[in-house]
């Protein structure tokens, strides 16, 4: 029965976090790009940049609003299904969340209002406001990921005398936690990749329609440049991130590659089907790559899952396939970015049949970075199981004493609420895109 409550509580939290994160990466990435358009208009006074700032800013507004609503819903989870966790982690968790609300949220909200209601007759104020909103979104990410990084690699704490909770002893150590900075940079680059691909796809939609061609050719080129930079940086950083995970979370690392026997010189298998007790299928191994991915050394020693107690292993199949799917999608993004770069160099007007095919492809690719982020999140969080705070506190100990039927009922209402929000979000986004860049100016 307890296992059912844990599973239901985890599922409800997963739904809440995943839905919230639909809006977060586009808000982060689009905010920075809109700030760039505002600065460009401020410096050049060219109408093109003003229209781009208005159009993409309108899409940013929608994402920003939905992100706030779903973010509030997520915080309620700690006082409902995860009361024991809130008590255990409160001393550490409270500081980042309070700072996120006091610094980042008020910075974003204040300057978002200034940006929203300031006319483009004051381009400097408009540009500076949007820059500060963009900075605020990134500061918000820092504080949230600070809390998550502690759960992945707890540092700067001491245990209470009665063992009932952990106490913050060194906030500096929490802020310099290497896991925080690997995860933060990886998350921010992923947000820019998603936003760049979205910009390429939407710009392509207008270019296919032959509508506002000069305007959207500029945003198409910006999107392609940001896409190729982020698509290349992500796996490069991810490699070092993976090495660090192998150092501090060897069990998660072993699950990512489904390594069961400890040893060195581990290959990576191109064809592999794992279970929670071993590999069902394993073929076409690339020598040394497995050790290199997990340790940074082709001959590195990897801890196998057989050396880990069964109750301390994560769900191997979910972790493994989530990691593989994320990597495959990353390769697709690199190929799409290279194709886009080739086309804007060979066909600057983007009017050829090849360009048209590419732009249609990118429209269908919009869901892919969302999926990549979701699977990456699954690797990070499912791979940490059965710990909610790695090595200190098990997920099964962190739940509230809530009946299963109550969780099912609240989860049903939550899913219904989120479905309504999602369809409203799609409606507003599609309407804003179809309206084009002719947005009314505030007085």
pLDDT in tens, 99-110: 777 777 778 778
Average pLDDT over residues 269-280: 76
Mean pLDDT lowest for which of 44-53, 259-268, 338-347, 381-390?
259-268
DSSP symbols for 320-369: HHHHHHHHHHHHHHHHHHHHHHHHHHH-TT--SHHHHHHHHHHHHTTHHH
pLDDT at residue 9, rounded to an integer: 78
Quick one: pLDDT at residue 309? 84
Residue 402: per-residue pLDDT: 74
Supply the pLDDT for residue 2. Answer: 56
> 338: buried, middle or exposed (CB in 10 Å: 19+, 13-18, 0-12)?
middle
Residue 269: CA count within 13 A, CB half-sphere: 16
Predicted confidence (pLDDT) per residue in 152-168, tens digit: 999 888 888 777 788 88
Rounded mean pLDDT, 187-198: 94
Of 40, 10, 111, 37, nearest to 394 (Cα)? 10
Exposed/middle/buried for 292, CB within 10 Å: 0-12, 13-18, 19+? buried
pTM, two decimals, is 0.88
Cα distance between the two ends of the chain: 60
> What pLDDT, in 10s, does the model give residues 210-230?
888 888 888 889 999 999 999
Backbone angles phi, psi at 314, to 5 degrees: -80, 170
- Cα(49)–Cα(55) distance, integer angstroms: 10
- Please state the rounded mean pLDDT for residues 239-248: 87
Average of pLDDT values for 384-401? 83
CB environment 300-337: b (16+ within 10 A), e (fewer):
bebbbbeebeeeebbebbbbbbbbbbbbebbeebeebb
> Distance between CA atoms of 377 and 319, rounded to whole angstroms?
10
**Residue whose token pair is 């208005």:** 54
**To the nearest 10°, the Cα dihedral for 45, 46, 50, 52?**
-150
Distance, CA of 188 to CA of 185 (rounded, Å): 5
Q: Evaluate if residue 285 carries a pLDDT over 80.
A: no
Share of the chain above pLDDT 90, in %: 23
Question: Exposed, middle or buried by CB within 10 Å (0-12, 13-18, 19+), for 19?
Answer: buried
Nearest to 388 by CA among 88, 113, 103: 88
- State the CB neighbour count (10 A cutoff) for residue 238: 20
Reply yes or no on whether the pLDDT at 407 is more than 50.
yes
Q: Given this model, what pLDDT does residue 367 score?
A: 94
pLDDT band at 1; cut points 50, 70, 90: low
- Coil, strand or helix: which one is 153? coil
> CA–CA separation, 83 vs 87, rounded Å?
6
Average pLDDT on 324-338 reads 93
pLDDT at 3: 61
Q: Is the peptide bond before 386 cis (omega within 30 degrees of 0)?
A: yes
User: Does 440 have pLDDT greater than 70?
Assistant: no
Please state, rounded to an integer, the average pLDDT across all residues of the chain: 85
Q: What is the mean pLDDT of residues 26-53?
A: 88
Residue 24 has pLDDT above 60, yes or no: yes
Span 346-377, pLDDT tens digits: 888 877 888 888 889 999 999 999 999 999 99
Helix (H) or strand (E) holding 199: helix 178-208
| Helical (H) or strand (E) element with 388 | strand 387-389
Q: What's the rounded Cα separation, in Å, for the pair 114 and 133?
A: 10
**4 has a pLDDT exceeding 80:** no
Minimal CA–CA distance to 245: which of 295, 207, 198?
A: 295
pLDDT band at 79 (very low <50, low <70, confident <90, very high): low
DSSP letter at 439 equals P
> Looking at residue 392, what is its pLDDT?
83
Residue 238's closest CA among 167, 189, 174, 274?
Answer: 189
- DSSP readout, 229-297? HHHHHHHHHHHHHHHHHHHH-HHHHHHHHT--S-BSS--EEEEEEE-SSSEEEEEEEETTHHHHHHHSS
Q: Is the dihedral of CA 346, 350, 356, 361 positive or negative?
A: positive
């Amino acid at each position: 029965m307890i296992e059912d409550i844990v599973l239901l509580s985890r599922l409800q939290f997963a739904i809440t976090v995943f839905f919230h994160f639909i809006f977060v990466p586009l808000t982060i990435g689009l905010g920075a790009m809109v700030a760039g358009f505002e600065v460009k208009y401020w410096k050049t006074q060219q109408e093109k940049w003003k229209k781009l700032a208005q159009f993409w800013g309108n899409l940013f507004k929608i994402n920003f609003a939905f992100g706030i609503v779903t973010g509030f819903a997520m915080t309620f989870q700690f006082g409902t299904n995860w009361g024991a966790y809130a008590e255990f982690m409160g001393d550490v968790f409270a500081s980042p969340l309070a700072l996120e609300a006091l610094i980042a949220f008020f910075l974003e909200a204040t300057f978002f209002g200034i940006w929203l209601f300031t006319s483009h007759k004051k381009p400097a104020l408009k540009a500076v406001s949007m820059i500060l909103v963009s900075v605020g979104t990134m500061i918000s990410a820092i504080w949230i990921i600070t809390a998550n990084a502690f759960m992945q690699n707890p540092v700067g704490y001491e245990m209470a005398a009665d063992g009932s909770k952990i106490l913050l002893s060194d906030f500096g150590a929490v802020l310099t936690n290497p896991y925080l900075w690997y995860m933060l940079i990886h998350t921010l680059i992923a947000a820019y990749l998603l936003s760049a691909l979205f910009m390429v796809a939407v710009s392509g939609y207008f270019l296919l329609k032959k509508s506002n061609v000069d305007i959207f050719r500029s945003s198409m080129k910006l999107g392609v440049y940001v896409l190729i930079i982020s698509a290349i940086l992500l796996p490069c950083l991810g490699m070092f991130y993976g090495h660090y995970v192998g150092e501090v979370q060897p069990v998660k690392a072993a699950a990512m590659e489904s390594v069961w026997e400890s040893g060195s010189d581990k290959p990576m298998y191109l064809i592999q089907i794992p279970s929670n007790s071993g590999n069902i299928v394993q073929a076409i191994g690339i020598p040394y790559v497995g050790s290199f991915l997990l340790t940074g050394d082709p001959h590195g020693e990897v801890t196998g899952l057989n050396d880990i107690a069964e109750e301390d292993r994560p769900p191997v199949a979910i972790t493994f396939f989530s990691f593989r799917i994320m990597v495959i999608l990353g390769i697709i993004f690199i190929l799409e970015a290279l194709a886009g770069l080739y086309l804007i160099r060979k066909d600057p007007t983007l009017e050829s049949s090849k360009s048209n095919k590419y732009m249609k492809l990118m429209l269908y690719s919009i869901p892919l970075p969302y999926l990549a982020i979701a699977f990456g999140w699954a690797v990070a969080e499912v791979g940490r199981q059965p710990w909610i705070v790695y090595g200190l506190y098990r997920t099964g100990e962190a739940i509230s004493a809530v009946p299963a039927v109550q969780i099912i009922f609240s989860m049903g209402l939550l899913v219904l609420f989120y479905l309504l929000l999602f369809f409203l979000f799609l409606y507003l986004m599609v309407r804003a895109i179809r309206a084009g860049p002719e947005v009314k100016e505030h007085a």
